[in-house]
Amino acid sequence: MQMRRIDQDRGSPSERGYDVEWAERARRFLAEHPVCVGCGGEATVANHRIRRTLLVAMHVDDPDADRYLEPMCASCHGRFTATHEDRWGSGSTR
pLDDT tens for 22-78 read 999 999 999 999 999 999 999 999 999 998 889 999 999 999 999 999 999 999 999
Indicate the Cα dihedral angle 27, 28, 32, 33, nearest 10°: -40
Question: Does the residue 89 lie in any domain?
Answer: no
pLDDT bin (cut points 50, 70, 90) of residue 14 is low
Question: Does the residue 93 lie in any domain?
Answer: no
**What's the rounded mean pLDDT across residues 12-21?**
68
Residue 24: count other Cβ atoms within 10 Å of its Cβ: 10
Question: Does the residue 92 lie in any domain?
Answer: no
Position 8 scores a pLDDT of 52
pLDDT bin (cut points 50, 70, 90) of residue 82 is confident
Question: Does the residue 55 lie in any domain?
Answer: yes
Question: Does the residue 15 lie in any domain?
Answer: yes
CA 82 to chain centre: 12
Position 5 scores a pLDDT of 45
From the CA atom positions of the chain, what is the Rg in Å? 14
**How many separate domains does the chain show?**
1
